[in-house]
Homo-oligomer: A and B are copies of this chain.
Amino acid sequence: MAKLYGLGVGPGDSELVTLKAVRLMKECDVIAIPGENPEESVAYKIALGACPEIADKEQLLVTTPMTKDKTILENGYKAAAEKIEALLKEGKDVALLTLGDPTIYSTYIYIHRIVKSDGFDTEIISGVPSFCAVSAKLGDSLVDRDQQLHVIPASYQIEESLELSGTKILMKAASKFGVVKEILVEKDSKAAMIENCGMPEERIYHSLDEFPDKASYYTIVTIKE
């Protein structure tokens, strides 16, 4: 029975792709790519660096709407799932590329749930999450011993979450970056950040006073106690 694989390709560096993801890219009949254009897909660029053979494979572009409207979103996921299911019915294994790890804020998971509940085989292949790569690049741990780690989507309310003890990771911080920076300055937080970690456009900011006023989409902020 054909299967849908949600392939985590890691945070940016093609060498941080796992052996399993590379094997499945080679074995699957179809590579499904998020976006409208493979050349503009970050996940595809990462995957291509790890497994150039995918350039010659059958490709499926998976576009999902960027909105908070639930009906539009649901319809978008359903349409994507239908296209994938049509390929599965032809007996083709499909590998859908996903940035980072597919279990952490991925769009893949909504398509996965539909395909799975429609009775098809699905499997999630773990990838390195971006916040691990950010911490590695900063040269120290995220958490030790009894410290807690809190991953916070910063496009929502964050002030209360910054009071949590342990290490905080702010994801999706770009859209409200001005407000986020203001709050961090007010609290005199021990913050660092990386834009586009592991990619050619990578920029590292070791402390709050180095922070820019605007941040790009792939920005991760770490806040230590």
Chain A residues with CB under 8 Å of chain B are 8, 10-11, 13-20, 22-23, 50, 101-106, 109-110, 112-113, 116, 122-129, 132-133, 135-137, 139-153, 155-156, 161, 164
The docked-state distance in angstroms from the alpha carbon of A9 to that of B132 is 13
Chain B residues near A14 (CB, 8 Å)?
19
Q: Is B23 touching A15 in the complex (CB atoms < 8 A)?
A: yes
Please report the C-alpha to C-alpha distance between residue A153 and residue B149 in the assembled complex, in whole angstroms: 9
- Chain A contact residues: helix, strand, loop or mixed: mixed
Contacts of A18 in B (CB 8 A): 10, 15-19, 128
- State whether A144 touches B19 (Cβ < 8 A): no
- Residue pair A140, B109 in contact (C-beta under 8 Å): yes
Contact A15-B10, Cβ < 8 Å, known A128-B128, A136-B103, A148-B152: no
Which residues of chain B have C-beta atoms less than 8 A from A103's C-beta?
A: 132, 135-136, 140-143
Chain B residues with CB under 8 Å of A128's CB are: 8, 18, 101, 126-128
A125 touches B136 (CB 8 A): yes
Out of B11, B110, B135, B151, which one reaches A143, CB within 8 Å?
A: B151
B102 engages A141 (CB within 8 Å): yes
A102 to B144, CA, bound (A): 10
Contact yes or no, A156 B146, CB < 8 A: yes
Determine the chain B residues whose CB is within 8 A of the CB of A109 once the complex forms. 140-141, 144
Cβ of A137: which chain B residues have Cβ within 8 Å of it? 124
Cα(A147)–Cα(B150), bound, Å: 11
A125, chain B: closest CB distance, angstroms: 7
